[in-house]
Amino acid sequence: MDNLLDIKNLKTEFMTYAGKVSALNNIDISIKYGEAVGIVGESGSGKSVTMLSIMKLLSENGKVVDGRIFFNGRYIENLSEKEMQSIRGNEIGMIFQDPMTSLNPVFTVGYQLVEAIRKHKKLPRKSAWEKAAELLKLVGIPDPERRIRQYPHEFSGGMRQRVMIAMALSCEPRLLIADEPTTALDVTVQAQIMELMKDLKDKVNTSIILITHDLGLVADICERVFVMYGGMIVENAGTNQIFEEPLHPYTKGLLKSIPRANLGKERLKPIEGQPPDMIDLPAGCPFLARCPHAMEICYLRKPPYIEISDGHGAACWLLYIKNGGV
């Protein structure tokens, strides 16, 4: 089997006081063994909900209503909570957005690492503490034997994020999900964290899903990119293809809004308008209100996904018509 993760036709909804939120609409994602992929899009596009659906960590008002999720050859949607607990942290590690709220402030960093290790690896406590110290050293925390007995508030934001990476890697997972791993970190620490993730991917052969709105981070580490908008995958391509030959108007808009050193006097071109209301999504393309190429059919029906070249496709009516669709 070539793919570690296969998501087919995934649809996730949330019930709120205001109405039903269609957070994900027919998502298809595949990730190969040892591959790093990026999932990009602005806030509310469905990036984090996709990963929470995989991990079965949706809030009580959220539910996967359709689709199939295969991980390492297993269909995981029908697994019990106990069976999922054996996968979370063990086979799938996740780095959440805010390391301060992800770490328990009343326990030492070492205690939390050791508990994660012992839960899945069944090591004696002494061996687990030794492994925890090795992990802190691996993620670049100096003097790990001393730092391991300190509390989260004694670590900087970058160091806390390294601790979260160590915790996610403590059981050598097959898949590492990093949800905005460099949020609120300065650019120097961002670069260090991304370099660390690249090194770990090479050393452990772990597949990585990087969830971000920062295309610069994607270019640095990922081999493929999925672009999300309005709960849909609107484009999927190799990283170089996304930057050199973007197909979807939204992807093109994202790239034009990135600050560049060679911009000169040229002004950035932001994407005009607002993201769609996920409670009242349009019948057609979710991007139509902001798209400079919107046509009548865009208002009536959701665009089909069309593959233009091997591994590069997009969901866009204009693209479909240009390539012989009717």
Question: Each residue of 181-224: pLDDT tens digit?
Answer: 877 677 777 787 788 788 878 877 889 999 988 888 888 889 99
Segment 137-153, tens digit of pLDDT? 888 889 999 999 999 99
Q: Record the pTM.
A: 0.90
* Maximum separation of any 2 CA atoms in the chain, in Å: 67
How would residue 227 be classed by pLDDT, with cut points 50, 70 and 90?
A: very high
Domains of the chain: 3-91+171-322 (3.40.50.300)
Q: How far is CA 187 from CA 101, 197, 198, 242, in A?
A: 21, 15, 17, 23
Segment 75-102, tens digit of pLDDT? 988 888 888 988 888 889 888 777 667 7
Work out whether the CA dihedral 277, 28, 222, 323 comes out positive or negative. Answer: negative
Whether the Cβ atoms of residue 103 and residue 157 lie closer than 8 Å to each other: no
Residue 28 contacts by C-beta under 8 Å, 6 or more apart in sequence? Answer: 7, 8, 9, 10, 233, 305
Beta bridge partners of 227: 40, 235
